[in-house]
Amino acid sequence: MTRVGSSKNETMRKTEKEDKSNIVLGEENSVKSAFNHSGNSGAEKLGKEFLLKALRNMLTARTLDNKTMNLLRQGRTFFHIAGSGHEAIQTAVGLSLEPGKDWLFPYYRDIALVLSIGGLTPYDFFLQCFAKAEDPASGGRQISSHWSSTEMNIPTQSSPTGTQFLNAVGVALAGVKKKQNYVTIVSSGEGTTSQGEFHEAVNWASREKLPVLFLIENNKYAISVPVQHQSGGKDNSVACMMGGFENLYTARIDGTDFYESYSSVQEALKYIKEGKGPALIEADVVRLQSHSSSDDQKKYRDKDELEDDLKRCPIEQLSKRLLSEGTISKDEYENLKEEIASEINNAADEAFKAKDPVAESAARFVYDESGLKESLEYEKNRPSGSPIVMVDAINHALQEEMAVNDKMYIFGEDVADAKGGVFTATKGLSIKYGFDRVFNSPLAEASIVGVATGMALTGLKPVIEIQFGDYIWPAFMQYKSEIASVRYRSNNKWFAPVVTRVAVGGYIHGGLYHSQNIESIFAHVPGIYIAYPSNAADAKGLLKTACRINDPVLFCEHKGLYRQSFAMSPSPDEEYLVPFGKAKIIREGTDVTVVSYGHSLWDTVLASKKLEEEGYSVEIVDIRTIIPLDEETIFNSVKKTNKVVVIYEDTFTAGFGSEIAARIGDNCFQFLDAPVKRIASQDAHIPYAPVLENAILPNRDVIYKGIKELIEF
């Protein structure tokens, strides 16, 4: 094993280490010499019990792989991703951790790793394979090889490659802030290191010297794409590629050799626990089965290469050594294999007989069902303080919630003082509550959201800022595949209630990249609440509610309303909360209903005043939250006026107003005296010049004419 890093190459440094199984290395020997293939037996240093435990774990993982492939051929299960060839490094890592204290973000091949820390039993494994209701990982909601255990600090795993790295950094950061002494381990194959979020995660962890172990299991193939088409490091090495990070310990090892693997892991953990920074181990392993049960590697891999890989089988290497050293006899080895096979066969038979999930549970746990949200006291008094603009109301909400919740952390780009956010929404917060709780992030949206997700998994309440909705898209994978589905895919065992504040909307002459509305895209993602206030009081009340509930919230702040006088309102007190899913009728009327939100709502108010002067009566509904949507208030208003216009700032095609219009058509058709009308932006990008912007966005004149046209229909 060689160390490759930011400063210089070096061999393994000496250390004295007591393994968690109370098997002590010799005091006069370094870890490296304890695992030397020549001289004194490694068994003498690690102990028979420990080595047999490792061998048993590796055999169990391999037998599970083989058994599952047989079940697939029989049509009794549906999918499998094998870890055969990865067992040595995985077992070495698992036997080096403190289960229930350290955190683990494994990837889909890590069956031996999850087994080794007690996060999985063969019975648990088959419950997942057969998609049974008692599957502890997901209750049958995820495909097999997606691990989860609250007891072992294994957050529910998703399928996208790379998203887990930032989540792991978030967990590590949370541990540092809470002054808890644990290590976070995150693993993947070498192909995943091509993802940008891997590099962002290593950057954040290295910069802050976070206690993270990055385990890269390099089997040379990302499905069919060989490593030489993936990594730009010297000799296609991931460890070499990451060598520029000053605080990052890097090593490239033979991951099929249990002794070298265990030695390397001990050295890396020593470095981490000394507070020097994170570590990255690139373990060269072999993929002895195809990428998955849906793949056939014989189509793209050379026969000689496959045969060479078999010669490096980690189980063969370890068992031969233990047999040659007399640590285990041939009969004991055969008996061990038979015992494991019997245990696994029995586990499969029992799991197959377990109950299937019931169809009625399929849509449960998209959101929190604990009753917390319903137990809060909403709008207990009328806002009666001095008039306040929206951006200040938001600042006050954050100030108040930080005071009552010491688990709340605020971060994002430029949010710390003296800047206090590009719109000053967070001004004064870091001075008042400290730069440990209110801090600047790197300029990387995926990093902000991914790290916040990890922090939330540990029980913290991150409230993050994305400066402009236009720049949220690098983080969309984190929202769609991580935050939104955590509760659902874990069958209600994990949740990540991150609050994201984001400035949206046009009318500020910001051009294409400072004017976007994003609510319709996120509304398509189950699991995220979306607020879109139109005035200061609602902004404060909704944001305070978002900070208290146990669901993720996308909090859209129209920057065109931040300091507008018409969006001002009396300042609410510190107990003022606004419920999600409760619209507000801000103007009573009888001739037509207008459903709107955000900036468009105020253009509607001005248009309705002009129409009132002409003798028309307009009822205006401010929906306040996109998800959940208060259908009842909308439908009751439509039934009253019998005509409805939906006005929104997003594009006409597929903007969220289209969804509102469709629901009105489905539920109120018999009450309508005219077609459901929509007024929205043109299907174009938002230009810079004021005259062009005004032509694209729904302006007051267009809104006035559109409402009047429907009234006179």
Quote the percentage of the chain above a pLDDT of 90. 93
Beta bridge partners of 440: 412
Q: Kindly tell me if the per-residue pLDDT of 18 is higher than 60.
A: no
Q: Give dist(CA 154, CA 149) in Å, integer.
A: 5
Q: What is the pLDDT of residues 526-551, one digit of tens each?
A: 999 999 999 999 999 999 999 999 99
Q: Kindly tell me if the per-residue pLDDT of 246 is higher than 90.
A: yes
Lowest mean pLDDT across 26-35, 114-123, 653-662: 26-35
Per-residue confidence (pLDDT) for residue 11, from 0 to 100: 34
Per-residue confidence (pLDDT) for residue 14, from 0 to 100: 31
Per-residue confidence (pLDDT) for residue 43, from 0 to 100: 46
Q: Give dist(CA 421, CA 260) in Å, integer.
A: 49
Query: Which two structure tokens, joined as six digits, stand for 350?
Result: 């029992």
Q: Kindly tell me if the per-residue pLDDT of 208 is higher than 80.
A: yes
Per-residue confidence (pLDDT) for residue 46, from 0 to 100: 87
Query: Which two structure tokens, joined as six digits, stand for 383?
Result: 């806002």
Per-residue confidence (pLDDT) for residue 35, from 0 to 100: 34
Q: What is the model's pTM?
A: 0.93
Do 599 and 572 meet the contact criterion of CB atoms below 8 Å apart? no
Number of H helices, E strands in the chain: 26, 22
Q: What is the pLDDT of residues 664-688, one digit of tens each?
A: 999 999 999 999 999 999 999 999 9
Q: Kindly tell me if the per-residue pLDDT of 16 is higher than 70.
A: no
What is the mean pLDDT of the segment spanning 121-128?
97
Q: What is the mean pLDDT of the chain?
A: 93
Q: Kindly tell me if the per-residue pLDDT of 307 is higher than 50.
A: yes
Cis peptide bond upstream of 418, omega within 30: yes
Query: Which two structure tokens, joined as six digits, stand for 666?
Result: 């489905």
Do 556 and 562 meet the contact criterion of CB atoms below 8 Å apart? no
Do 64 and 111 meet the contact criterion of CB atoms below 8 Å apart? yes
Quote the percentage of the chain above a pLDDT of 70. 94
Per-residue confidence (pLDDT) for residue 3, from 0 to 100: 56
Q: Give dist(CA 496, CA 256) in Å, integer.
A: 36
Do 507 and 693 meet the contact criterion of CB atoms below 8 Å apart? yes
Residue with tokens 């037996």: 41
Per-residue confidence (pLDDT) for residue 660, from 0 to 100: 98
Q: Kindly tell me if the per-residue pLDDT of 105 is higher than 70.
A: yes
Instruction: Dump the DSSP string for 451-512.
Output: HHHHHHHTT-EEEEEES-GGG-GGGHHIIIIIGGGHHHHTTSS-----EEEEEE--SSS--T
Do 32 and 259 meet the contact criterion of CB atoms below 8 Å apart? no
Q: What is the pLDDT of residues 210-244, one digit of tens each?
A: 999 999 999 999 999 999 999 999 999 999 999 99
Q: Kindly tell me if the per-residue pLDDT of 39 is higher than 60.
A: no
Q: Kindly tell me if the per-residue pLDDT of 501 is higher than 90.
A: yes
Per-residue confidence (pLDDT) for residue 119, from 0 to 100: 86
Cis peptide bond upstream of 628, omega within 30: yes
Residue with tokens 């594009």: 651
Q: Give dist(CA 475, CA 155) in Å, integer.
A: 19
User: Which ranges in 353-465 belong to alpha helices (H)?
Assistant: 372-375, 390-404, 429-433, 445-457
Give backbone dihedrals phi and psi of 699, rounded to 5 degrees, phi first.
Answer: -90, 175
Go through the chain and tell me how many residues it has: 713
Per-residue confidence (pLDDT) for residue 4, from 0 to 100: 56
Q: How many other C-beta atoms are found inside a 10 Å radius of the C-beta of residue 394? A: 26
Lowest mean pLDDT across 11-25, 96-110, 482-496: 11-25
Grouping H, G, I as helix, E, B as strand and the rest as coil, residue 646 is strand
Burial of 639 (0-12, 13-18, 19+ CB in 10 A): middle
Cis peptide bond upstream of 92, omega within 30: no
Report residue 1's pLDDT band, with 50, 70 and 90 as the boundaries: low
Q: What is the pLDDT of residues 21-37, one digit of tens each?
A: 332 222 222 333 333 33
Task: State yes or no: is 37 an active-site residue.
Answer: no
**Considering 146, 291, 396, 514, which one is annotated as catalytic?**
514
Q: Give dist(CA 113, CA 94) in Å, integer.
A: 5
Angle, alpha carbons 164-162-147 (nearest 5°): 45
Q: Kindly tell me if the per-residue pLDDT of 481 is higher than 80.
A: yes
Report residue 44's pLDDT band, with 50, 70 and 90 as the boundaries: low
Helix or strand holding residue 258 (H, E)? helix 258-273
Do 492 and 209 meet the contact criterion of CB atoms below 8 Å apart? no
